[in-house]
Amino acid sequence: MTGARTMGRFPLMAIAMLALFAALWGGLLRLGWQPLALEPALAQAHGPLMVCGFLGTLICLERAVALGAWWAYAAPLLTGLGALTLIAGLPGEAGPALITLGSLGLVLNFAIIIRRQTALFTVTMGLGALAWLAGNCLWLAGVAIINLVFCWAGFLVLTILGERLELSRMLGPANRSHAMFLIAAGLYLAGLIAACLGLAAGMRLMGVGMIALTLWLALYDVARRTIAIPGLTRFIAVNLLAGYCWLGVSGVIWLLAATYTPARYDAMLHTLFLGFVFSMIFAHAPIIFPAVLGRPLRFSRAFYAHTVLLHLSLLLRVGGDLIDWFWAYEWGGMLNVLAVLLFVTVTVLAALAGARQLPISGLRTPGVTRG
């Protein structure tokens, strides 16, 4: 039964990866590149496919694996079907509706998780799922993505911070750590709620919250100690710490961006979604993918190639945004895409290299425990 369930995860993972590739294609179109414009509508679906189709489906799948119940897989199935609808370019609200239902499923799954283990980290991730559901409801209602993207940002930030909060308990007594986390997260949530109410100060307050959360991570996250351990552990820590730096940079930009311009908007989003979120993906992929697929990955120093390329290209892109160098923005974005594709390639090769090892069973997914 366990083997059949593990095999059943492959189609959902495949859909998530298809959403990633379609989102990257749409991103190239938005950058001004025309790499065989098979589906020009993908340019408009870039954000939804990346956040909801790829990241949302993966997070839903991860939680379903952690819960270990067949009904928990309804959430990633719905978001995956929604992503396929967007990729196909079908008209109407079918895609947003399916993804909204999938995010509702994730909220219900977190209700079970929180009931089984009521803790600050599970509640934090549950609030992230609620933020995603709120953003998807606005999207389904026809609200422009530029006016709801802070909800999608809240989904990812709170999900990641909840996972890191759980692991920070390894460093010892948590009273001071939790107090600082509550203050930082409270600022971020207050900004998110204010932004949902249409208050202009909400985005700036979210920026303050991001800066405060960065300070909390710098002081209390386990990565500042595990970076001294060679091998895979150091690779994970390097990506985590680099991502925290981008979270702080993004917070500063969100705080100071008084008005939306295309360049500022690009810098606001990609320092967060690429610099912070994809650093977390790079860090956690060697743990999450084996847990989800039941197959080990063989780590090598080649993993550092996509990490270096991502950060150098993002520096080029954001620098182009801030000083109005379009060529830097355009080529930085192209190299961003190549960094993600290199990550996928290295990960697949690592999975093939580890295929001769025994399948991993019972590996726990970070951030959620079985009740």
Nearest to 94 by CA among 108, 72, 78: 78
| Cα–Cα distance, 165 to 162 (Å, whole number) | 5
pLDDT at 5: 59
- Domain limits, the chain: 2-353
Helix residue ranges, H only, the chain: 2-31, 42-48, 57-67, 74-88, 94-116, 120-140, 149-168, 175-196, 201-220, 223-226, 232-256, 262-270, 279-293, 303-323, 326-353
Tokens of 190: 């207050």
Tokens of 277: 């979120």
| Cα–Cα distance, 339 to 165 (Å, whole number) | 28
Judge contact between 92 and 72, C-beta under 8 A. no
Nearest to 192 by CA among 205, 210, 211: 205
| Cα–Cα distance, 118 to 96 (Å, whole number) | 31
pLDDT at 169: 65
Q: What does each C-alpha distance from 330 to 224, 263, 313 come to in angstroms?
A: 34, 11, 10
pLDDT at 355: 63
| Cα–Cα distance, 220 to 204 (Å, whole number) | 24
pLDDT at 6: 62
Give SS3 for 197.
coil
Judge contact between 48 and 30, C-beta under 8 A. no
CATH code for residues 2-353: 1.20.210.10
| Cα–Cα distance, 343 to 356 (Å, whole number) | 21
Neighbour-count burial of 38, counting CB atoms closer than 10 A to its CB (0-12 exposed, 13-18 middle, 19+ buried): exposed
pLDDT at 340: 97
Query: How does DSSP assign 160-180, residue by residue?
Result: HHHHHHHHHGGGS--HHHHHH
pTM of the model: 0.89
What contacts 219, CB < 8 A, 6 or more positions away?
Answer: 177, 180
Give SS3 for 279.
helix
pLDDT at 308: 97
| Cα–Cα distance, 345 to 334 (Å, whole number) | 17
Judge contact between 56 and 79, C-beta under 8 A. yes
pLDDT at 366: 36
In Å, the largest CA–CA distance within the chain is: 57
Judge contact between 227 and 237, C-beta under 8 A. yes
The region that residue 238 occupies, defined by phi over 0 for left and psi between -120 and 50 for alpha, beta otherwise, is alpha
| Cα–Cα distance, 275 to 246 (Å, whole number) | 5
| Cα–Cα distance, 57 to 30 (Å, whole number) | 23
Tokens of 335: 């190299």
Amino acid (one-letter) located at 238: V
Low-confidence ranges of the chain (pLDDT < 70): 1-8, 35-41, 168-175, 258-259, 292-294, 355-371
